[in-house]
Amino acid sequence: MDRAQAEGLVDVAYTETDSPVGRLLVAVTDRGLVRVSFQRERREDVLEELAERLSPRVLEAPRRLDEVRRELDQYFQGERTEFELPLDWSLTSTPFRRKVLERTAQVPYGATISYRDAAEAAGNERAVRAAGTALGANPIPIVVPCHRVLRTGGALGGYGGGLDAKRFLLDLESGRSTVTGR
Amino acid sequence: MAGTRSPHVKLPPFQLLLDRHSGELFRFLSASVGPVDAEDAFQDTFLSALRAYPKLRDASNLRAWLFQIAHRKALDVHRARGRNPIPVEQVPEVAVSVGGDAEPALWRAVRRLPDKQRTAVFLRFAADLDYAQIGQALSCSEPAARQNVRAGLATIRKGWADG
């Protein structure tokens, strides 16, 4: 494995890590963090997607994810309010979706915006439904905080990791939650 | 990295391939080159496969493809030994305990077979490939694969009876 890394043969490195919202699969490329997936997505399906869309040289290489895991752990312990990880947007296929997610990435810890705000930032305030789809397809949840996007009026809306996870993350950021308080 | 991959071939994530086949590849290599060299031969197999993987044009029998590479790496080890032969008498008896309940002396007899017969026998009995897959790994037909296994077994049986 070390030689494979040294020779640059591992195009997509991944590992799995425990979190208060369940087991997460995290994956990086040379460019940065490319994927975070929740337990409800089958590991094989996520790996197949990475193989098909990025490169079939997908390998489990936990050490390449050390920094990602460190920042996630700090976040879940309430010790980190901003991620400093480089991101790889390769899995976001359209400019509209990219804009929606980039706007979402700027929403500060503890704050929220509406789906309409996200659509507006992407240049089309009427494309609320499309913005919802873009957020639902967020390949890097938690780090690109799509949980901070709510329905106008404050209803939770949807979440790829399940609404319990979304509620947990919002509570965590508002200081109302403890690790055991799911 | 997207530029190096073949179009229209759907390759599974390499890790899944490894999870599925590393055990049997290692068993094959242990049987074929012995446990001392198996580790290196496995690493070489893994690296060669990983290097070639994105350029693969046919994903229909990846298992046979992996064994084909392992077979070549095993040949490399056998050739290197041919240049630096180790007398069989000096190999400690206890060093070989691979292939489950297989008799070590029997495996050693298999290792003295000609290249193709040896590999065919190990692919059949250490890795449990069928004859079609052995044919793919050895780049020969299914009947030829069967013939190599049969000939190998005959030679061993003869040696066994004579010994």
Q: Mind listing the pLDDT tens digit for each residue in A93-113?
A: 899 999 999 999 999 999 999
Most B-contacting residue of A7, A10, A57 (CB-CB within 10 A), to test interface: A57
CA atoms within 13 A on the CB side of B59: 15
CB–CB of A48 and B12 under 8 A? yes
| Residue A180 included in any domain | no
Residues in A 5-34 with any Cβ partner in B closer than 8 A: 7, 9-12, 14, 29
Is A60 part of the contact surface with chain B (CB cutoff 8 Å)?
yes
Most A-contacting residue of B1, B39, B56 (CB-CB within 10 A), to test interface: B1
Q: Which of A42, A76, A110 is the last residue before a domain boundary?
A: A76
A134 and A103 co-located in one domain: yes
Q: Is the pLDDT of residue B87 over 60?
A: no
CATH code, domain carrying A44:
3.30.160.70
Predicted pLDDT at B3: 47
Question: With a cut of 0.90, is the ipTM above it?
Answer: no
A103 and A163 co-located in one domain: yes
Residues 6+ apart with CB under 8 A from B52: B69
Q: Name the pLDDT band for B94 (thresholds 50, 70, 90).
A: very low
Predicted pLDDT at B103: 58
Q: Is the pLDDT of residue A166 over 90?
A: yes
- Enter the tokens of residue A146: 């799509």
- Enter the tokens of residue A19: 């979190």
Predicted pLDDT at A154: 80
| CA atoms of A50 and A37, how far apart (whole Å) | 11
Greatest alpha-carbon pair distance for chain B in Å reads 59
| Residue B8 included in any domain | no
CB–CB of B14 and A52 under 8 A? no
Q: Is the pLDDT of residue A179 over 70?
A: no
A52 and A100 co-located in one domain: no
| Residue found under tokens 């079939």 | A56
A21 and A68 co-located in one domain: yes
Write the residue in B13, B43, B51 that is nearest to A56 by C-beta. Answer: B13
CATH code, domain carrying B52:
1.20.140
A103 and A160 co-located in one domain: yes
Q: Based on the structure, what is the number of domains in chain B?
A: 1
Question: What mean pLDDT comes out for the span B9-33?
Answer: 93
Q: Is the pLDDT of residue A178 over 60?
A: no
Active site residue A146: yes
Q: Name the pLDDT band for B130 (thresholds 50, 70, 90).
A: very high
Q: Is the pLDDT of residue A25 over 70?
A: yes
A106 and A67 co-located in one domain: no
Contact call for residues A66 and A127 (beta carbons, < 8 A): no
Predicted pLDDT at B84: 65
Q: What pTM was computed for the model?
A: 0.83
| Residue A88 included in any domain | no
What does the pLDDT look like over A113-164, one tens digit per residue?
Answer: 999 999 998 888 888 999 999 999 999 999 999 999 999 888 888 898 999 9
Per the structure, the complete domain to which residue B25 belongs is given by 13-162
Q: Is the pLDDT of residue B147 over 60?
A: yes
> What residues of A are in contact with residue B11 (Cβ under 8 Å)?
51, 56
Predicted pLDDT at B106: 80
Work out whether strand A33-37 and strand A24-28 pair parallel, antiparallel, or are unpaired: antiparallel
Contact call for residues A87 and A140 (beta carbons, < 8 A): yes
Per the structure, the complete domain to which residue A19 belongs is given by 2-76
> What residues of B are in contact with residue A56 (Cβ under 8 Å)?
5, 11-14, 53-54
> What residues of A are in contact with residue B59 (Cβ under 8 Å)?
none
Q: Is the pLDDT of residue B150 over 90?
A: yes
